[in-house]
Amino acid sequence: MERTEGQNPLPQKENLSRQELAQTLSQQGLSRRELARILFQEPYLALFRERLPRYPYATDDPRQGVRPRKRENALRYRYIQVGHYPHAVYRIALDVDRPWPLVEEQLDALPPSLVLVNPESGHLHVWYEIDPIPLLSPKSPEALTRTMRLLAQTEAELEAFLGADPAYSGLMSRNPIQHPPEWVWGGGRLWSLHELREELRDRLPRGLRRAVRASEASYGRNTTLFHRLRGLAYAQVNLFRGKAGGEEAFRLWVSQTAHALNQELFVGHPKGPLDPREVGWVAKSVAKWTWAHYRGSRIYVSSTGRPDRSRLSRELRALIPPLEGEELERARLANLEAANRKRRGKAEEALIEALRRLQARGEAITARALAREAGVHPSTASRWLKRMRGE
C-alpha cells in the first residue's frame, strides 16, 4: 500500500529505535517493500548524499559527455559520479550487462548495498559500500598502497563473481535519487573491505580466482599510477629543495609526470587511461606528502639526472628500468666526463698549493718540480703550467 496525502504523518525517526519505528510503520499498513525502503534504503541514500564531493560529475546522457556540477544540482540528473572521488573511496560500483535474474543467486549470496536495475533491459548497476579509505595526505603511503591493492583485488574478484563489464570504469552510475524507486533494490548494507574480500574468496571458484588480474580493475589503475609516481617523486624531490620556488616547481613536475605516466601505462588497459582530474588528485596527494614528509637521502646520479637504482628499495628499484643500448652508452660517457672533471679539479688544487710552497722556499718553478711537489704526473703539471703562463 502506497502512502497518500490522507495518511497519518510519519513518526520522527530520530526519536525511535529501528524496531519501534518498524512497528509504528507496519501499523499504518505499509508494504514490506515500503518498510524496507524507509528503514534501510533512505538512511543509506542520505549517507550517499553526504559522501558526495562538492562538485561531482553528472549528466542525463553519458554519451553526450559529463561535467562537474554543484552537489545540489548534480542530484537532479539521471547519472551521477559514484566512484573515484578526490578525497576518499567509499564504494565499489559494478556494471552487470546481464538481466538481473541471471545473477540473482550471486546477489543473494553476497548482498550488495544497492542495486539499480534498468527497467528496459534488466541490466544493473551494483554498489558495495565499504569503510572509507582516505586518499589525501595519507599518514603512511605504504599502508595506503596495501589498502589500494586489496581494493583492486576485491574489485577484480567481484567483477569475475558477478560477470560484470570489465570495461566499466566505476566513475558514473544511475542516480538512485532520480531512478524509479521500484527498480532500486538493496538494504544499504555497509561492508568492511576485509570482510567483503573474505566472503568473496569463499564463494569464488579457485580457478576463476587465479585468473583474476587486479591490475585490470578500475582501482588497479590508481594503485599502479600511485606506486610508480611516488617512486619517481622520492627520487626527484631533493633536486628541488633549497631553491626559490622549489615546492611549486616540484608539484608541477609531479603533475606533468603523472599525466605522462597515465598515457604510457594504460594505453591498452580495458578501461583506458584514468580521468585527467583523477590523475591530478593522485599527483597532488603524492607531491604534498613527499615534500612535507620524505627525508630520504639524495639518490640521483647528477650527471644523468636518473635515479640511482642501487640506493632504492627493491620494490621501488623494480619501477625504474635499467638503461639499455645508446642510452646506456650516453650515461657511461656522462659519468666518465663527470669523473674526469672531478679529478682535474683535485689536480688543479694540488698544483696551486705546490706552486705556493715552491715560491715560499724560493725554488725554481718547473713542471717536474710541480709534479713532484703536488704528486701528479709530469705531463699534467706541464699542461697546467703552460695554461697558467698563457703559452
Question: What was the pLDDT predicted at 11?
Answer: 41
3-state helix, strand, coil in the chain (%, to 5): 55, 10, 35
**CA angle, 368 as apex, 364 and 374 as ends, to 5°?**
95
Question: Region 21-25: what's the mean pLDDT?
Answer: 55
Distance CA 106, CA 112 (A): 10
Band the pLDDT of 32: cuts 50, 70, 90.
low
Average pLDDT, the chain: 79
Which of the given ranges, 42-56, 221-235, 260-274, has the highest pLDDT on average? Answer: 42-56
Distance CA 216, CA 288 (A): 27
For 31, the grid coordinates are 508494504
CA atoms within 13 A on the CB side of 265: 22
Query: What is the phi/psi pair of residue 215, to 5°?
Result: -65, -20
pLDDT digits (tens, 9 = 90+) for 90-101: 999 999 988 888
Distance CA 109, CA 200 (A): 9
In eight-state DSSP terms, residue 213 is -
Band the pLDDT of 214: cuts 50, 70, 90.
low
In eight-state DSSP terms, residue 233 is H
DSSP strand pairing (184-185 vs 114-117)? antiparallel
Question: Residues 297, 302, 306, 312: what is their CA dihedral angle, to the nearest 10 degrees?
Answer: -20
Distance CA 261, CA 225 (A): 7
Question: Are 302 and 341 contacting, i.e. CB atoms less than 8 angstroms apart?
Answer: no
Residues 6+ positions from 284 with CB-CB distance below 8 Å: 136, 251, 255
Residue 119 has pLDDT above 80, yes or no: yes
DSSP strand pairing (300-301 vs 306-307)? antiparallel
Model-level pTM?
Answer: 0.57
pLDDT digits (tens, 9 = 90+) for 124-163: 999 999 999 888 766 677 788 788 888 888 888 888 888 8
Distance CA 173, CA 128 (A): 13
Question: What was the pLDDT predicted at 266?
Answer: 77
Strand partners, 127: 93, 114
